[in-house]
């Protein structure tokens, strides 16, 4: 807000003797302090950027992976040669809590020793099946489970706690939440990683997750722009194509992205998908029409744009000769993400450095103003690192914040605010079990568990967490082999069986067809995007998640006796081919 205008309005209120002038004074001071912080951050980030060499500038736009749980000789060589702006961590890098803290601390010390800005250290911690960090963090169910609760409160809580706990481990860049609307049940890659099939559910719960995560201390990334939900090709393996106009995207896929951006989202990950009715040549990651035209200009997004992994076949098998790193930055991206190191990282750096020296990142606006696109990309990262107090570690440059007491106090206040919020959540009790319970849904219709008669019920449960819950209520346990013998007894009328795959469901469905006078309930923890045979005596309870808490919630919800709502998803039509029956690899 213009300072002169603020002073004028303030003077008018003083002259008028307005009763609420003290409130206005506080607002005025707050705005002035915010403007002063903003000016300092802008100037300081450019000062740091302008001091960098060409090689350092190019390196900062690249984020790489490393091979192990320590900053070993290979990792050190990669950092020295690439000079990256960030490091992405996968399961192979993440051990016990103490090991993670040691790794992230040593990464930041290495950055300082090499004369580099602090790293943005990232990981995919979506919850559910994409759960990188195993120790030192709360095991929440995945996005689809949280989405099925329909509660913004739970979205915000999961986002906040996940972000807060990652930041305590030294991980400051969170590749979540997914804002893709999984309205195509044949989608092989998004699946239960989405918050749902409904635009309102995703817009409300997923955007609340982003808001909570932003408060938690790590920088959340909304993905995959402009929408990966309506695909039937995995971009890790091929090049998806979505034949929708921009107007069509605006009525569905772009809705949650617009809402998140309007509410303050600060980082976006791109999708390796071609939208030929918008850009017939390039996928979103490499498309100036999509990243600059739609994301920057139409949606007014001013934050950081990071590409999805550039080694994915959608890019590497189709655009390798087109200098994809150069195209991504020219299109509007600020960070080129690599999930490898070595030759690939070296090739991207050489590609970008050559383009920079040739002037490929310099442009002139209609006004005549000269732009250095690569420098702007680096400055955005540096500014965000300053805003996130990444320079405050003793091993980096804590004296930077002493230059601006206003910012120093502001950042300290934010950290205390986060700490108190986390303390409040911990004191409030069992929010995790409530989220797990609220996520359980029934298929093919709402389900009211029959009165629990121990003598007439039997369960063939493999999962130990679910089995334990049922055993505490005295429900008889057996195995699938023995179950067929017990089903011959007329007194057995209720059968509970757990599953996590389509093959297991097929086995139970065959039993339900044979014993039509007995009720079968499948407690299913895997993806719901498989064939779920419908029979009059067969019901499903779905958790969308394989975490221990989700398995326990399946048993406890069934035993509660309360009606369980019907699932709110677009599931596979009968006889449709299942997207994937195998294990899901690590995804971005």
Active site residues: 308
CA gyration radius for the chain? Answer: 26
Buried b (16+ CB within 10 A) or exposed e, 475-514: bbeeeeeebeeebeeeebbbbbbbbbbbebbeebbebbee
Query: Which segments within 502-583 are labelled E, that is strand?
Result: 519-524, 538-542
Find the DSSP H helices in 388-525.
Answer: 399-402, 405-428, 431-438, 464-472, 480-486, 502-514
Cis peptide before 312 (omega within 30 of 0): no
Residue 396, CA atoms < 13 Å, CB-side half-sphere? 19
Edge-to-edge strands of the sheet including 62-65?
219-220, 173-174, 120-123, 86-88, 62-65, 336-337
- Give the whole-angstrom CA distance, residue 516 versus residue 534: 13
Q: How deeply is 176 buried, as exposed, middle or buried, from its count of CB atoms within 10 A (0-12, 13-18, 19+)?
A: buried
305's torsion region: left (phi>0), alpha (psi -120 to 50) or beta? beta
Measured CA to CA, the distance from residue 223 to residue 205 in angstroms comes to 14
**Cis link prior to 444 (omega < 30° from 0)?**
yes
Query: Residue 117: which of 395, 522, 441 has the closest Cα?
Result: 395
Q: Which helix (H) or strand (E) holds 379?
A: helix 373-387
Residue 322's SS3 state is helix
- The torsion region of residue 477 among left (phi > 0), alpha (psi -120 to 50) and beta comes to beta
Asked if the bond preceding 341 is cis, omega within 30° of 0, the reply is no
- Decide if 294 contacts 226 (C-beta within 8 A): yes
């Amino acid at each position: 807000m213009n300072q002169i205008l603020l002073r004028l309005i303030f003077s008018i209120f003083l002259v008028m003797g307005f009763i609420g002038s003290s409130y206005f004074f506080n607002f005025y001071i707050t705005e002035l302090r915010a403007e002063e912080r903003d000016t300092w951050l802008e100037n300081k980030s450019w000062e740091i950027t302008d001091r960098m060499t060409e090689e350092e500038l190019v390196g900062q736009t690249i984020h790489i992976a490393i091979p192990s749980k320590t900053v070993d000789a290979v990792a050190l060589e990669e950092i020295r040669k690439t000079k990256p702006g960030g490091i992405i961590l996968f399961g192979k890098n993440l051990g016990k809590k103490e090991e993670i803290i040691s790794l992230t601390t040593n990464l930041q010390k290495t950055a300082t020793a090499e004369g580099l800005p602090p790293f943005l250290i990232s990981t995919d911690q979506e919850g559910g099946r994409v759960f990188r960090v195993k120790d030192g963090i709360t095991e929440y169910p995945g996005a689809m489970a949280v989405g099925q609760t329909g509660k913004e409160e739970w979205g915000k809580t999961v986002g906040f706690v996940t972000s807060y706990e990652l930041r305590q481990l030294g991980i400051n860049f969170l590749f979540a939440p997914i804002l893709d609307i999984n309205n195509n049940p044949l989608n092989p890659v998004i699946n239960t990683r989405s918050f749902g099939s409904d635009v309102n559910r995703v817009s409300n719960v997923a955007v609340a997750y982003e808001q909570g995560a932003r408060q938690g201390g790590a920088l959340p990334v909304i993905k995959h722009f402009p929408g990966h939900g309506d695909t039937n090709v995995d971009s890790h393996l091929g090049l998806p194509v979505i034949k929708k106009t921009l107007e069509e995207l605006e009525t569905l896929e772009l809705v949650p992205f617009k809402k998140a951006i309007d509410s303050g989202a600060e980082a976006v990950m791109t999708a390796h998908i071609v939208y030929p009715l918008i850009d017939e040549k390039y996928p979103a990651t490499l498309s100036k029409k999509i990243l600059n035209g739609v994301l920057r200009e139409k949606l007014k997004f001013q934050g950081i744009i990071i590409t999805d992994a550039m080694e994915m076949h959608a890019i590497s098998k189709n655009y390798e000769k087109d200098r994809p790193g150069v195209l991504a930055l020219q299109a509007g991206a600020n960070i080129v993400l690599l999930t490898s190191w070595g030759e690939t990282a070296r090739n991207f750096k050489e590609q970008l450095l050559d383009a920079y020296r040739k002037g490929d990142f310099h442009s002139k606006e209609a006004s005549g103003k000269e732009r250095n696109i690569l420098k702007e990309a680096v400055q955005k990262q540096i500014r965000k690192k300053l805003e996130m107090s990444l320079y405050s570690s003793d091993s980096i440059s804590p004296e930077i914040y002493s230059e601006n007491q206003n910012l120093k106090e502001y950042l300290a206040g934010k950290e205390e605010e986060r700490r108190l919020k986390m303390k409040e959540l911990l004191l409030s009790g069992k929010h995790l079990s409530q989220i797990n319970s609220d996520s359980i849904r029934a298929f093919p219709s709402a389900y009211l568990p029959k009165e629990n008669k121990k003598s007439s019920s039997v369960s063939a449960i493999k999962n130990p967490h679910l089995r334990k819950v049922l055993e505490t209520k005295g429900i008889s346990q057996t195995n699938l082999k023995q179950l067929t013998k017990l089903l011959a007894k007329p007194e057995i009328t209720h059968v509970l069986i757990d599953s996590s795959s389509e093959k297991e469901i097929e086995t139970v469905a065959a039993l339900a067809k044979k014993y039509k006078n007995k009720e079968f309930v499948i407690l299913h923890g895997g993806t719901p995007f498989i064939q779920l045979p419908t029979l009059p005596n067969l019901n499903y309870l779905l958790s969308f998640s394989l975490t221990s808490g989700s398995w326990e919630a399946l048993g406890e919800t069934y035993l509660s006796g309360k009606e369980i709502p019907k699932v709110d998803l677009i599931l596979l039509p009968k006889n449709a081919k299942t997207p994937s029956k195998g294990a899901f690899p690590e995804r971005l």
